[in-house]
Chain A
Amino acid sequence: MCGMSSPATDTSARASGRLARFTRGVRLGFPILLGYVPVGMTFGVLARKIGFSSLQAVVCSATALAGAGQFIALSVLAAGGGVLAVLAATVVVNLRYVLFGATLAPRLGRVSHALRPFLAFTLTDETFAVNTTDARIAGLDPVSALGVGAIAWLGWVSGTALGALASGAIPDPSRFGAEFAMPAMFTALLVGQIETRSHAYAAAIAAAVALTTAAVLPGTWGVTIGAVVGAAIAAWRLT
């Protein structure tokens, strides 16, 4: 929380100029750029494969900045889902941002209302991790957090552009195992999410609900219902 940082660090952070604070955030966020470029490239290539133009792929990344939310949108579109099914899926995948926002909100006491939409827009797993770690040390500096968000956005958008433009140069994506690129990423994300035994149980419950739903309902609602209902059962039954 802002008020909990010591007066000394607070004053020194405020004393340095806005540009210096922004640049500090850019430096803090630089590893995020390194991580986003290759994943953004994968999004660009896959988006082109299911019918996005390069412009559409780049606009999507620039306005959604949604990582897994964008990959699931591609997967629902490729499976024939409509606009509503895609939006339901992307919202469910990114529901965790509600929790991130709720965690950050109490720290934004003195942050100007003009800055808040920009901080919200650049909220991702990685910027959240960097900013909350930094806030523990120095107190949340919104201008620095904006720098973190800006460099993350740049990495995601430029990666997407590179991937979308290079996708034409890749003759047959299946020759490189591209069908497994999305499942592989989701598998890695799943392993990263399983931190405790209850997370592992929650994963098993959600998978079972998703597969049962897929057996009964048409289309791609299995993922959406598996996530919402699976998480609800886990929250209700597990400690």
Chain B
Amino acid sequence: MRDPGTIWAVIAGMAIANFVVRFTPIALVSRARIPEPVARWLSYVPVAVMASLVATEVLRPGGSWLLTPRNPYLLAAIPTAFVFGKTRSFLGATLAGMVSFLAFRALVG
């Protein structure tokens, strides 16, 4: 649990940060184009973010390493990815992930 002051600071900071990220290019880019190498880098950012998140959330759940094949987070990620690949449903994949996490935790935990 975090204290309310920290949370309000995070909320205010996020409101400003997200607006600046979105508005700056709209305010500026009509005149100057983004250089090609920067555009290439930006095009890889989303996939790099998600891969970094998944790797750390799955192999370091709660901030401590869980490098074992009996890791329910690691095991549950497989059906989650499969369901999303088949159905393209965000909600369906999340629910399938939660259900298989419960099953794997009961089996191996």
- Decide if B25 touches A105 in the complex (CB within 8 Å): yes
- Decide if B45 touches A231 in the complex (CB within 8 Å): yes
Q: Which residues of A contact B47 (CB under 8 A)?
A: 190, 193-194, 199, 202-203, 206, 231
Q: With A177-B102, A203-B48 in contact, do A35 and B90 touch (Cβ < 8 Å)?
A: yes
Taking the complex as formed, is A161 at the interface, i.e. its CB lies under 8 A from any CB of chain B?
A: no
Partner of B98, one of A93, A180, A203, A224: A180
- Bound together, the chains give a CA A117 to CA B11 distance in angstroms of 19
Q: Which residues of B contact A56 (CB under 8 A)?
A: 4, 7-8, 11
Which of A19-27, A64-72, A131-139 lies on the face that meets chain B? A64-72
Within 8 A of A (CB), among B76-108: 76-77, 80-81, 84-85, 88, 90-91, 93-94, 96-99, 101-102, 105
- Decide if B29 touches A189 in the complex (CB within 8 Å): no
- Decide if A226 touches B18 in the complex (CB within 8 Å): no
- Decide if B26 touches A104 in the complex (CB within 8 Å): yes
Q: Chain B interface secondary structure, helix, strand, loop or mixed?
A: helix
Within 8 A of A (CB), among B24-65: 24-30, 33-34, 37, 39-63
- Bound together, the chains give a CA A38 to CA B93 distance in angstroms of 13
Min Cβ gap A88→B in Å is 9
- Decide if A191 touches B17 in the complex (CB within 8 Å): no
Q: With A186-B57, A203-B50 in contact, do A116 and B26 touch (Cβ < 8 Å)?
A: yes
Q: Which residues of B contact A50 (CB under 8 A)?
A: 1-2
- Bound together, the chains give a CA A63 to CA B26 distance in angstroms of 19
Q: Which residues of B contact A224 (CB under 8 A)?
A: 52
Taking A66-B14, A101-B25, A199-B44 as known contacts, 16 extra A-B pairs with beta carbons closer than 8 A to each other, sorted by chain A number, are A51-B2, A63-B15, A77-B10, A91-B18, A98-B34, A101-B26, A119-B26, A184-B93, A187-B54, A203-B51, A206-B49, A214-B60, A227-B49, A231-B42, A231-B44, A231-B45
18 contacts between A and B (CB under 8 A): A56-B8, A63-B11, A90-B14, A95-B45, A96-B45, A98-B24, A99-B43, A102-B33, A176-B102, A177-B102, A179-B61, A184-B97, A186-B53, A188-B84, A188-B90, A188-B94, A205-B48, A227-B52
